[in-house]
């Protein structure tokens, strides 16, 4: 493990003037966040190290070390003993005196909230990574160490993913590559971030690994602001073009389907024989061109020994397609014809199912791509802010050049109203600059020579020139965009739940689908067609797309929305942590207060003058830039007090400082300095000092060895927004703490002003993390809000670290959330946003699981007895809707506004649940109509809707009575004679089972049809002139049975005799199966079949001395018999068909009615029940 160490700032500590030095680390070889925590703990236990923060994701760290107590060599040896190789890149390890720590120690029993020697703002922080990269190119030693530390982290832009399983497959493939330390893939962002050893594998090797997995990848080009937009446009165009292609070939097959329902449409009588071959020609290019991507993805996943969404789509569509191909070939071979016989279509063709399934999935992917594009709108907004050109001055000549060509050191001219193109420092002129797009501050900021300007901000008034210091991917805007992209590409802990489900989901679905097929086909005796369609529907509807989108889409929108309000959330983990927080600890100085203290009181004692108090105190503090030290030093300047040189300086940790001024010894610091070190009593001044402390002022005291000479009181103003933020957080039910090194009286005064009841005072910087840990051990989920270096350990210890934008880079790198505006109200906004974001995550998880829990049983035809089934193509639409609903729900986060209720976001999910549940049921109803004939394939007795015992009981009941048929407007009507239905196992859905003269009980389907036609409204209604009966009353309606009984009118024998008769119907049971025979006698052939056959075609024929009865078969009955191998083509002979020799005289055209399930025989034929 390699450490790259560079010299940073210094802070004083220890006696004898020993200095702490900040060392920045570049860490290589960590395998997880536990490694980072392990290294932190190990280093913090090392003598001489005061604070340390190691970040696994970025591979960086920062620490403060006392190099007089711990040499760099000892540090490296210590790391080596722990198993980590380390290298020093630069710096001599010698710190300069950065001032006295009296200000740091004065306000407490220990040091104050320490600030670093140099103030830095957000811009310094966000560019920290870039500065380190630039530094790595400055010296040969650094270049050499870079070779020794080859770890790199790259982003890959991915294409071709369809679901969370795809993301898991790519992640698995990348992690298997030698040299890869960590790889993470985000499905919604379509990005992969990979940490790898550049000495072992190159980016090209990573791209090749993705390609081997069956997907496309290319390096993310951070300098190309339009790259993601172009990629998204290409993706959407690809899906849309394939969708249009697929739709164009599928629409004719939709017309074929409509012809089954609407016989009045053109071609209803002439087109059916050609349905099969034409559908084959139309479906084939859809299957293998438009659907090629699914086959490629399925093959890639198979090679990786796993399954994904492509596998499901490929298996589902192939089942329908190749089943149809086999039936088409079988028909063609048996009948030597590629078209249907006798004007009928070839049975069991489901080419349209495969074609429409692919069409709808492609439509869904296009809609999903559009919706996912909107989730990253915040990044596009940021990219759109960037200037396109810059006006540079080179060699005295001013010219406009593309922003990409601006180099370090260029002098850039900016006129009023123009955007600042890159980051830099003003060298000439002044102006007011609008920084609202970065900081959120509404008022323009005055800028003068030496001030920093940020690219993308707008110059409002005067012209100025500035020197470019950060360009390209180094600018603050580029770093913010990178931070947001990585946050949006990160995974929240809750995503692990979804990933675990997705990893097992596809194999589970295949198992459920296979079980569905076996149960229907083998156990329940459903037709092969019905079982295969149920198998396909289960596979299609269960694609885990919605589950894979549930978390990342919400996080993408949530983190993007946070960026709009100046809140940078570094990924899903801190966002989820923010939602769970119960306790918030605020650092005082610079967080709750402005961090700009002023001297308010100067007290002198024992004949020492006030000016002398300021002169000596300011001399001791003159080199420090700590806010309290600056206040004392600044006050001396304001009062024109001259300063003196300091010799024999010594820092006394936790107390203050010692030094000689003009040959006299002085001590300057807190109470403990005077009582514990110097040994003086405070009785004479205690009341005065206490009075100042009770006003919230920090008091630092000056003394000699013999007596107290004076005191300096400093007050820090509470931020205007702090009271409001604390109040709102308390109203949200959070426990609020303030932590500070101040003494109890001072801290309590500030806390009282803010309304904070819990105060942790006199806490040493190194103990802040311990205080956080104590609260965590009591069961609290703790957020720490701070901005100082000494806050970094506490920020790391807390469940959520929140760094203020004015803080140090160490604190901000440690914080999981960064507040750009340094406004505590943004802490409230972050809490509100995290709650709303994870409300969306939970809603999305519900949507994804709700669709599958509801959809899989329906697709498996579990509710078929209720008439609820789902065709595969409609299952495909339902699957698409699940993904679209999840993404749409996440997009509702775009309506988030701080402090306001997002009512639309709360109500919309409820509406979507209701709407999509109704759509499911509507699809099921449509499917039931489309499946009506398929469900009764096998001659009604083999319908999938009823158990074998139920079918046998009902079949026996039907065969026990007489049956006849009549026609109404060409529709076949079945009538059954029965004395009573009581005690026969039937249930009345409405009305009664008691049957009287001129009364009838209706099967469920027949009743529904008659009510739709307006013949009656409810049981008890009378129907006039009903097939020869002047007035017929509807006595009751049977519960659905899923058998032929659902199509019958049941009447008593007397009424049966009065009914008109078009033809008699013979019902025969054999092996538990019901067969219905239409007795053709004279001119009673159904009108739809006239011209195809008549009674003369059904006379007995003699073959080889044997008599055979000709039989015409309805289309569905013929298909079922062919499936069972009873015959293959018209003209075949059956030697024992219900005890009689028969010849299949022909197969009748499909009508979409009960006629398709009948056998048509002569009245002379003799059949017997066995």
Q: Which residues are catalytic?
A: 587
At 816, list the tokens.
Answer: 């999981």
Query: For residues 896 and 561, is the Cβ–Cβ distance under 8 A?
Result: yes
Positive or negative: CA dihedral 396, 401, 406, 411: positive
Residue 222 neighbours by CB under 8 Å, 6+ apart: 155, 472, 473, 478, 482
The sheet that has 758-760: what strands, in order across it?
A: 567-569, 817-819, 800-804, 782-786, 583-587, 735-739, 758-760
Question: Alpha carbon of 302 to those of 298, 322, 500, 514: distances in Å?
Answer: 6, 20, 19, 18
Q: Which of 574, 558, 592, 566 has its CA nearest to residue 785? A: 592
Positive or negative: CA dihedral 1000, 1002, 1008, 1013: negative
Please give the full DSSP string across 774-828, using - where no structure is assigned. Answer: HHHHTT--EEEEE-SGGGHHHHHHSSEEEEETTS-HHHHHH-SEEETT--THHHH
Percent of the chain as helix, strand, coil, to the nearest 5: 45, 20, 30
Query: For residues 650 and 643, is the Cβ–Cβ distance under 8 A?
Result: no
Token pair 């097992």 is found at 504
Query: For residues 429 and 465, is the Cβ–Cβ distance under 8 A?
Result: yes
CA angle 708, 711, 712 (to 5 degrees): 160
Q: Which of 738, 690, 701 has its CA nearest to residue 584? A: 738
Rg (CA), the chain: 42
Q: What torsion do the CA atoms of 322, 328, 329, 333 make, to the nearest 10 degrees?
A: 160
CB count within 10 Å of CB 1027 equals: 19
Query: For residues 1019 and 1037, is the Cβ–Cβ distance under 8 A?
Result: yes
CB count within 10 Å of CB 160 equals: 21
Query: For residues 936 and 947, is the Cβ–Cβ distance under 8 A?
Result: no
Q: Which of 974, 850, 828 has its CA nearest to residue 909? A: 850
Q: In the chain, how many H helices and how many E strands? A: 37, 45
Q: What are the CB-based long-range contacts (under 8 Å, 24+) for 230-237?
A: 231/157, 231/159, 232/369, 232/372, 232/373, 235/159, 235/369, 236/366, 236/369, 236/370, 236/373
CA distance 626 to 900: 39
Q: Which of 407, 716, 418 has its CA nearest to residue 592? A: 716
Q: Which of 526, 662, 428, 325 has its CA nearest to residue 944? A: 526
Phi, psi (rounded to 5 degrees) for 11: -130, 145
At 864, list the tokens.
Answer: 């078929």
Chain centroid to CA 529: how far?
37
């Amino acid at each position: 493990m390699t450490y790259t160490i560079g010299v940073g700032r210094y802070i004083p500590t220890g006696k004898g003037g020993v200095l702490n030095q900040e060392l920045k680390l570049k860490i290589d070889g960590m395998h997880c966040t536990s490694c980072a925590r392990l290294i932190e703990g190990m280093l913090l236990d090392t003598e001489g190290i005061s604070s340390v923060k190691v970040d696994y994701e970025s591979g960086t760290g920062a620490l403060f070390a006392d190099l007089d107590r711990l040499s760099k060599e000892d540090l490296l040896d210590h790391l080596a003993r722990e198993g980590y190789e380390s290298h020093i890149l630069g710096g001599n390890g010698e710190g300069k005196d950065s001032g006295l720590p009296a200000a740091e120690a004065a306000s407490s029993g220990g040091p104050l909230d320490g600030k670093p020697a140099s103030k830095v703002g957000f811009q310094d922080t966000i560019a920290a990574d870039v500065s380190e990269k630039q530094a790595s190119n400055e010296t040969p030693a650094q270049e050499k160490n870079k070779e020794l530390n080859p770890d790199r982290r790259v982003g890959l832009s991915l294409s071709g993913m369809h679901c969370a399983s795809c993301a898991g497959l790519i992640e698995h493939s990348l992690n298997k590559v030698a040299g890869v330390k960590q790889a993470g893939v985000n499905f919604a962002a379509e990005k992969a971030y990979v940490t790898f050893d550049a000495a072992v594998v190159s980016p090209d090797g990573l791209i090749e690994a993705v390609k081997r997995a069956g997907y496309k990848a290319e390096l993310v080009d951070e300098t190309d602001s339009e790259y993601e937009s172009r990629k998204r446009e290409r993706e959407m165009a690809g899906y849309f073009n394939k969708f249009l292609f697929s739709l164009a070939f599928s629409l004719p097959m939709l017309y074929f389907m409509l012809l089954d329902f609407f016989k009045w449409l053109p071609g209803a009588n002439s087109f059916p024989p050609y349905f099969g071959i034409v559908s084959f020609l139309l479906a084939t290019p859809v299957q293998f061109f438009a659907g090629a991507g699914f086959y490629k993805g399925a093959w890639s996943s198979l090679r990786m020994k796993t399954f994904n969404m492509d596998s499901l789509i490929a298996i589902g569509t192939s089942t329908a397609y190749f089943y149809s191909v086999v039936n088409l070939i079988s028909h063609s071979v048996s009948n030597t014809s590629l078209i249907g016989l006798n004007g009928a279509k070839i049975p069991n063709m489901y080419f349209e199912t495969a074609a429409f399934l692919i069409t709808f999935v492609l439509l869904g992917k296009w809609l999903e791509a559009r919706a996912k594009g909107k989730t990253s709108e915040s990044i596009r907004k940021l990219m759109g802010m960037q200037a396109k050109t810059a006006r540079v001055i080179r060699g005295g000549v001013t010219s406009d050049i593309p922003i990409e060509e601006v180099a370090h050191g260029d002098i850039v001219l900016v006129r009023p109203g123009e955007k600042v193109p890159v980051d830099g420092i003003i060298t000439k002129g002044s102006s007011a600059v609008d920084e609202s797009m970065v900081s959120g501050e509404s008022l323009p900021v005055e800028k003068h020579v030496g001030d920093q300007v940020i690219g993308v901000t707008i110059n409002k008034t005067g012209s100025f020139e500035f020197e470019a210091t950060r360009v390209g991917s180094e600018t603050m805007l580029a770093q913010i965009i990178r931070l947001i992209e990585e946050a949006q590409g990160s995974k929240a802990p809750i995503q692990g739940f979804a990933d675990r489900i997705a990893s097992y989901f596809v194999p589970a679905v295949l198992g459920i689908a296979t079980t569905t097929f076996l149960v229907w086909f083998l156990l329940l005796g459903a037709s092969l067609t019905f079982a295969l369609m149920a198998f396909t529907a289960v596979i299609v509807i269960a694609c885990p797309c919605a589950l894979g989108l549930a978390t990342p889409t919400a996080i993408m929108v949530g983190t993007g929305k946070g960026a709009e309000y100046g809140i940078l959330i570094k990924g899903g983990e801190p966002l989820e942590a923010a939602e769970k927080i119960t306790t918030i600890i605020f650092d005082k100085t610079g967080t709750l207060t402005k961090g700009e203290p002023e001297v308010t009181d100067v007290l002198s004692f024992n004949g020492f003058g006030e000016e002398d108090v300021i002169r000596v105190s300011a001399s001791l503090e003159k080199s420090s830039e700590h806010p309290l030290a600056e206040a004392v030093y600044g006050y001396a300047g304001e009062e024109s007090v001259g300063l003196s040189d300091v010799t024999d300086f010594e820092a006394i940790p936790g107390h203050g400082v010692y030094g000689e001024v003009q040959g006299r010894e002085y001590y300057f610091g807190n109470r403990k300095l005077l009582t514990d070190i110097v040994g003086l009593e405070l009785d004479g001044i205690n009341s005065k000092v206490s009075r100042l402390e009770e006003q919230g002022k920090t008091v630092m005291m000056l003394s000699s060895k013999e007596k107290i000479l004076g005191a300096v009181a400093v007050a820090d103003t509470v931020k205007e927004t702090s009271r409001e933020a604390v109040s709102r957080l308390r109203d949200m039910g959070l426990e609020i703490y303030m932590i500070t090194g101040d003494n109890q009286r001072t801290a309590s005064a500030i806390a009282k002003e803010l309304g904070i009841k819990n105060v942790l005072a006199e806490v040493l910087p190194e103990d802040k993390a311990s205080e956080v840990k104590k609260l965590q051990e009591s069961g609290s989920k703790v957020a720490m809000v701070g901005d100082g270096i000494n806050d970094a350990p506490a920020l790391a210890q807390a469940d959520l670290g929140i760094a203020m934008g004015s803080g140090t880079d160490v604190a901000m790198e440690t914080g999981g959330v960064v507040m750009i505006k340094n406004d505590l109200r943004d802490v409230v906004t972050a809490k509100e946003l995290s709650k709303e974001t994870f409300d969306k995550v939970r809603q999305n998880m519900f949507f994804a699981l709700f669709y599958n829990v509801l959809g899989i049983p329906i697709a498996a035809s579990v509710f078929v007895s209720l008439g609820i089934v789902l065709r595969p193509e409609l299952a495909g639409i339902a699957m698409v809707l699940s993904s679209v609903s999840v993404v749409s729900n996440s997009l509702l986060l775009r309506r988030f506004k701080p402090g306001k209720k997002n009512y639309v976001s709360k109500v919309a999910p409820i509406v979507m649940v209701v709407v999509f549940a109704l759509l499911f049921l509507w699809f099921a109803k449509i499917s039931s109509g489309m499946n009506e004939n398929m469900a009764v394939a096998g001659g009604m007795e083999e319908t999938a809707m009823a158990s074998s015992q139920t079918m046998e009981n009902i079949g026996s009941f039907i065969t026990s009575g007489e049956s006849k048929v009549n026609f109404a407007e060409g529709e076949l009507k079945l009538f059954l004679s029965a004395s009573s239905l009581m005690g026969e196992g039937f249930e009345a859905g409405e009305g009664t089972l008691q049957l009287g003269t001129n009364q009838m009980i209706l099967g469920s389907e027949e009743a529904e049809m008659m009510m739709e036609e307006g013949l009656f409204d409810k049981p008890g209604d009378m129907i006039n002139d009903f097939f020869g009966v002047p007035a017929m009353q509807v006595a009751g309606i049977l519960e659905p049975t899923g058998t032929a009984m659902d199509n019958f009118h049941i009447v008593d024998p007397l009424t049966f005799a009065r009914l008109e008769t078009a033809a008699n119907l013979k019902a025969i049971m054999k092996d538990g199966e019901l067969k219905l025979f239409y007795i053709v006698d004279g001119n009673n052939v159904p009108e739809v079949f006239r011209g195809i056959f008549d009674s003369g075609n059904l006379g007995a024929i003699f073959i080889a001395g044997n008599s055979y009865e000709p039989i015409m078969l309805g289309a569905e009955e013929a298909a079922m018999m062919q499936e069972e191998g009873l015959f293959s083509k018209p003209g075949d002979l059956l030697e024992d068909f219900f005890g009689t020799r028969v010849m299949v005289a022909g197969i009748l055209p499909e009508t979409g009615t009960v006629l398709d399930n009948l056998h048509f025989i002569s009245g002379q034929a003799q059949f017997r029940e066995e």
